[in-house]
Amino acid sequence: MFPFNLAGPPFLWFYGVFGSLLLLAYRYYLGRLGPARPLPVLSQLTGDPYAIAYLRSGRDETVKLALVNLIDRGLLAVSGKTLQGSAKADGDALRRPLDRAILSRCTTLTTVGEALHDGRVRAACDDYDRELRERGLLRSAGEQRRALTGAIAVVALLAGISTARVLQALSHDRHNVLFLIFLTVVGCVAAVQICARTRTRLGRSALTDLRTLLRRLRERINRLAAGGATNEAVLFAAVFGIEALPAQAFPYLRTLFPRSGGTASGGDSGSDSGGDGGGCGSGCGGCGGD
Amino acid sequence: MPDPNRSSHPVHPGRDRVGLGWRGELAAAILTDPESVDVLEVIAEDWLHASRREAAALAALGRVRPLLLHGVSLGLAGSEPVCRRRLDRLARLVERVEPEQWSEHLAFVRAGGIEIGHLAAPPRTEANIAGALANVETASRIVGAMPALENIATLIDPPASVVDEGTWTTAIVEAAGAPMLLDLHNLYANAVNFGTEPAELMHAMPLERVALVHLSGGRWIDARNGQRRLLDDHLHDVPGAVYGLLENLAEAAEQPLTVVIERDGNYPGFAQLLAQVEWARAALARGRARRREAAPWAA
């Protein structure tokens, strides 16, 4: 039975099932990319919550978390929608290059958007990208290339079959092809989205473990206090996003990071988009998150 | 087939260790500074219904720090056979998480399908000892590892008892061949509530079998007869007298001890909890030093 001999509705069924299976196979293929590695030890991640933020949601979220951390520790002062290093800020005394880069940028009044797009700040985030790829939590460049090749193959197959069918229909003077085009677009978008998830199986596993272990703290969110005495709040925000921090203890969050403020990629909401999508930016076009 | 007479892992790690009870409220603080504790104790009942994915997260925690699983609902010293379904769930959890040791209380928690919602002391009789031994045997066979058995606190002296707490506990722990989880605040509360010297009660316990130790705090409450009772509520700091008992225990016991500080609410800052961990380490070190002084050839 040749699919192009099928009538309209049966062909749509065929196309839907074929596309779904193709996407599942692609997803399975991506899950098996890369060498087998032992499961990561969580404390290697929790030692630096910025790495978790990067793994969860990429560069912008990492910078936002660093801003919250520096504000919480009194090293950055908030004035309306701008930030500036406080009198006690001593960038050289800070351990993390990202903290130093941000304080260096915030010697004058700085908006969140300016901090997010600062070259030194972005370069400091690249360290996390490199580190997570080396640990196998984000796809390596080679794995990302293979993921991209796979995405292109899936899109080409879906679009090719669809185009051939549309041409066949038009040659028979049939114009009811909109639903097929809709299915094609949905399939292609799904393939691109799967490709854009740069977290590996290990990365997803580590993040899920952290979410599970910290879930009860999320249910008792008001226990988290501001003041930077411990890293608790920073770790919590790294895992669940800064939006999950209690507004009473962190009142500046709404002003600095309005949900609809359009400050780049924004929070997490449990998405699986992982990393920065940077590796996919080598040619994937819409795959990248940044 | 695991040997039910053995713990899931060697119970003696070779050195004294001090850790904390894993609670959701403390999770982020512990994960940001896991090296500050040697071991973590997880309440088994919090994870009995865990999915495979959730159990994997707990196993991941076990790769950060050695895990102990602590049961609170089996009722090993109850008058009825221990619930098979709970044991099956516990066995599955132990298999997935591979804790270093699991433990349960020598307590009575249900009868006739009614849960009393409390760890109660049963009458200390020969029949109760036999029932507890049967339950321990069943539990260790199904779970695949022998539990450490914990003494409990009680506000009333169990009626109809024919033996004292030390004799009763020793009879069960030794006949079962189980390690003991000695809760020093439970022991301290029972001693002061019923007019016994805490050190005397401690030495009535099978100290050579103590592998795990619990420390916690409590508060004084008024009893009906105008007397006062110490309630073990896990909501307060560990009192100094309990550190003193730990020091005595470290002097008396030859084997390494794993100490867990339990806190179930009214949480202080994490630094304050870590200070208690340090005090426990210091008490252990003092006790060990006294032991070396008393018997230098043993060291």
Q: Do A43 and B270 touch (CB under 8 A)?
A: no
pLDDT value of residue A36: 73
Question: pLDDT tens, B9-58?
Answer: 445 567 999 999 999 989 999 999 999 999 999 999 999 999 999 999 99
Query: Is A39 an 8 Å CB contact of chain B?
Result: yes
Are the C-beta atoms of B144 and B181 separated by less than 8 Å? Answer: no
Are the C-beta atoms of B200 and B164 separated by less than 8 Å? Answer: no
Query: From residue B63, how far is each of B7, B97, B184 by CA, in Å?
Result: 18, 10, 28
Q: How far is A168 from chain B (nearest CA, A)?
A: 48
Helices (H), A73-177: 97-105, 112-116, 119-134, 141-171
Interface test with chain B among A95, A202, A232, by most B beta carbons within 10 Å? A232
For residue B42, give the chain A residue with the closest CA: A213
Residues of B in contact with A224 (CB under 8 A): 28
Q: Do A235 and B32 touch (CB under 8 A)?
A: yes
Question: pLDDT tens, B263-298?
Answer: 999 999 899 999 999 999 999 999 999 999 987 765
- In sequence order, what are the residues at sequence separation of 6 or more whose Cβ sits closer than 8 angstroms to the Cβ of residue A49? A65, A69, A231, A234, A235, A237, A238, A239, B32
Q: How far is B49 from chain A (nearest CA, A)?
A: 13
Answer yes or no: is pLDDT of A96 > 50.
Answer: yes
List domains and CATH numbers for chain B.
17-294 (3.20.20.150)
Nearest to A232 among B24, B28, B54 (CB): B28
Q: Do A39 and B269 touch (CB under 8 A)?
A: no
Q: Do A219 and B24 touch (CB under 8 A)?
A: yes
Distance CA A63, CA A78 (A): 16
Range of weakest confidence among A237-251, A265-279, B80-94: A265-279
Q: Do B31 and A233 touch (CB under 8 A)?
A: no
pLDDT value of residue A264: 34
Question: pLDDT tens, A243-266?
Answer: 989 888 888 888 888 863 333 333
Question: pLDDT tens, A158-183?
Answer: 999 999 988 988 888 888 888 999 99
Q: How far is B117 from chain A (nearest CA, A)?
A: 22
Structure-block tokens of residue B106: 């020598």
Q: Do B64 and A42 touch (CB under 8 A)?
A: yes
Question: pLDDT tens, A34-72?
Answer: 677 777 788 888 889 999 999 999 999 999 999 999 998
The mean of the pLDDT values for chain A is: 82
Are the C-beta atoms of B65 and B34 separated by less than 8 Å? Answer: yes
For residue A215, give the chain B residue with the closest CA: B24
For residue A225, give the chain B residue with the closest CA: B269
Question: Which residue bears the tokens 């903290």?
Answer: A99
Answer yes or no: is pLDDT of B208 > 90.
Answer: yes
pLDDT value of residue A92: 67
Please choose, from the candidates A161, A187, A164, A169, the residue with its C-alpha nearest in 3D space to the C-alpha of residue A7: A169
Query: Is A226 an 8 Å CB contact of chain B?
Result: no
Q: How far is B62 from chain A (nearest CA, A)?
A: 9
Write the DSSP symbol of residue A223: G
Rounded to a whole number, what is the distance in angstroms from the first to the last CA of chain B? 37
Which amino acid does the sequence have at A172? H
A254-257, Cβ contacts within 8 angstroms, sequence gap of 24 or more: A255/A78, A255/A80, A255/A81, A256/A67, A256/A78, A256/A81, A256/A83, A256/A112, A257/A64, A257/A112
Q: Do A212 and B63 touch (CB under 8 A)?
A: no
Q: What is the dihedral of CA A236, A242, A243, A245, to 10 degrees?
A: 50
Distance CA A70, CA A94 (A): 10
Nearest to B25 among A213, A220, A230 (CB): A220
Structure-block tokens of residue B131: 């029932």
Answer yes or no: is pLDDT of B2 > 80.
Answer: no
